[in-house]
Structure 1
Amino acid sequence: MLETAIELMQSGENPSVSDVAEAAGVSRATSYRYFPSQAALVDAVVDAALGPILDWQPKTVQADELVADLMRLSLRRIGEFEATFRAALRLSLDHWAKSKAGTLGAEAVISRGHRVSLLQQAVAPLRHKAAEQDLDRLTKGLSLVFGIEAFVVLKDIWGMKQEDVEEIINWVAQVLISAVADKAGTTLTSA
């Protein structure tokens, strides 16, 4: 069922649990046993699409290299599963709109936030060198370019191709890291 859901989302759909059950040739009851809501289904598909990103571990002690490594892995994967991440974003925006309108009710919402812990790991070498406020701003600033939202802006508004998107995002990330390191009067290593 998960593979079917991934295929549907990769084709641009935002399938319901019933849609996945039908496409996978299983009963709705079985499908709902595995995915009690559309949010649970989308969460599972997003986690599968994130795959190796969720297993990323720091391999160096330099913040700029850590962020570059995380971005390299992540941007390719986001590009590969772009339709899936866009479908998840679309559902998240729909949940937000329903919440604001008071029509969300008890509907489960998709979870978000993997980027927070990943980015915190990537900037960790600066933890004892930069001011806590600057490190917090850096992590939040990096989160603006680490995810599908940056792809939407750069591809849809600017008409950029994947490799150009990656170059811009990597450049922005390095500028942010350098600014924090410069302000702290430090190098980017933890040594």
Structure 2
Amino acid sequence: MKKIGILLSGRGSNFRAIKKAVDNDDIKNAEIAVVISNKEDAAGLAFAKEQGLDTVFINHQDFADRESYDREIVKELNSRNVDLVCLAGFMRIISPWFVEQFENRIINIHPSLLPSFPGLDAQRQAFDYGVRFTGCTVHFVDAKMDNGPVILQRVVEVKGDDTAESLAERILEQEHKAYPEAVALFCDDRLRVDGRKVKII
């Protein structure tokens, strides 16, 4: 049984998609062990509490630097024997030290086809650039932002009548499919990392 730790800062829509997949047994041999947020009023944290999940609020403003904060998070994760950390709208860059503690065991989803359009507001970046196709990427997290080995990508066509907002909504629909799929592959021990490449076995 793989134990999943969720980190979020907002509504947690991808967390909800993962939880639904666990509940429906689309993600097998797994349970959500803890949901951690740096925002006490995060809607995702409130939802986790409603669902009876173990929740923790850790205020990053209480810590002198990023690594000190991350050490507190890692302590909470390790106390629950977490196998996989899922960043689900966690609006903080995690430290290299954190990455080392969970090497190839932290995954994130980004709303573009990485390496294109890393960073904030990727949907609008793609829309403003005028690309015909964009999408989302589930990847392992390394010490650089939006840089780790790619697990899965889903492509979204940019339509002629799209706005940045409508494009973002359709990308999010694909995120809610891709993220649980990637988590399921991890929990089934079907992912192998070889340098920059991830092999699905």
The question of a shared fold, defined as TM-score above 0.5 by the shorter chain, is answered with: no
Larger fraction in helix:
1
- Who wins on radius of gyration, i.e. which is larger? 1
TM-score when normalising by structure 1: 0.29
Larger fraction in strand:
2
TM-score when normalising by structure 2: 0.28
